[in-house]
Amino acid sequence: GSYTTSSQQPSKLLFRQLFEKESATYTYLLADASHPEKLALLVDPVDKTVDRDLALVKDLGLKLIYAINTHVHADHVTGTGLIKTKVPGVKSIISKASDAKADLVVEPGDKICFGDLFLEVRATPGHTLGCVTYVTGDGPSQPQPRMAFTGDALLIRGCGRTDFQGGSSQQLYKSVHSQIFTLPKDTLVYPAHDYKGFTVSTVGEEMLFNARLTKDEEAFKNIMANLNLSYPKMMDVAVPANMVCGLQEVESKPC
């Protein structure tokens, strides 16, 4: 069924979901457990929980190679920069459309490989101009069901705001419908945040029950235009830091 979160998984994915409570951010650890070096990556690490995350990477015997962001966050400072200072060789990754500095910038259709596993990059602008969704690969040796790391484009029963950072409710509506709701219905939805204690959803479930994205486009744009949200406390600190992947001391060279 499209709501089943545990089913046949022929892959050797090691997967951990981690939570940072101040910003209600989810960080995800993925590794190829059958690769001799157990190559691993982190999606959306937070500066405050870097020590926890790196201790877990060490306990599990993983080799961290990438620290990836779904977008330039406005509510917390990414852990990417701190990770790079603590684990030599880790490369930061963000989308080219974000215009942020990173070791590697990715574009829609690119694959981020770790061992025999990979994430594919889908452009899902609307919350910010540079938002991407990372989706586990399609194919017999990749995890089943697939997993979508949707950042703030699609939250469980909700979505990210669209009123700054190049946001656009029209663009977000199109992104979610064309890039996420077209995935198999049993695809697991792992967002960058949750404020109600949900940990995971599925594409099929959000297509039926998402409070905003199930509406038609006009109704969606009206909802998004009338949220009356306050200016994010962390924004003026977080955005400049995150534009250089948390490496504030970076000058001319990419972080």
Q: Residue 118: enclosing H or E segment and its boundaries? A: strand 117-123
The whole-angstrom separation of Cα 13 and Cα 144 is 10
The whole-angstrom separation of Cα 113 and Cα 41 is 9
Cβ 58 to a copy of itself shortest distance, Å? 10
**Interface residue with Fe ion, options 44, 47, 120, 152 (CB under 5 A):** 152
Cβ 178 to a copy of itself shortest distance, Å? 24
Q: Which residues sit at the interface with a copy of itself, rule CB under 8 A?
A: 1, 3-21, 33-34, 49, 52, 56, 59-61, 143, 196-200, 205, 208-209
- Considering only 21-29, 70-78, 177-185, 213-221, which stretch makes contact with Fe ion by CB under 5 A? 70-78
Q: Which residue is nearest to Fe ion (CB)?
A: 152
Cβ 106 to a copy of itself shortest distance, Å? 24
Query: Which of 21, 82, 27, 29 is closest to 59 using CA atoms?
Result: 29
Cβ 73 to Fe ion shortest distance, Å? 5
Cβ 215 to a copy of itself shortest distance, Å? 17
Beta bridge partners of 15: 30
Residue 205 site contact among a copy of itself, Fe ion, none (CB < 5 to 8 Å, cut-off depends on kind): a copy of itself
Q: Which two tokens stand for residue 159?
A: 């979505």
- Considering only 15-23, 58-66, 116-124, 148-156, which stretch makes contact with Fe ion by CB under 5 A? 148-156
The whole-angstrom separation of Cα 188 and Cα 139 is 16
What Å distances lie between residue 13 and 2, 30, 184, CA to CA?
A: 20, 7, 19
First-to-last CA distance in the chain? 43
Q: Residue 151: enclosing H or E segment and its boundaries? A: strand 147-151
Residue 34 site contact among Fe ion, a copy of itself, none (CB < 5 to 8 Å, cut-off depends on kind): a copy of itself
**Which positions lie near Fe ion, rule CB under 5 A?**
73, 152
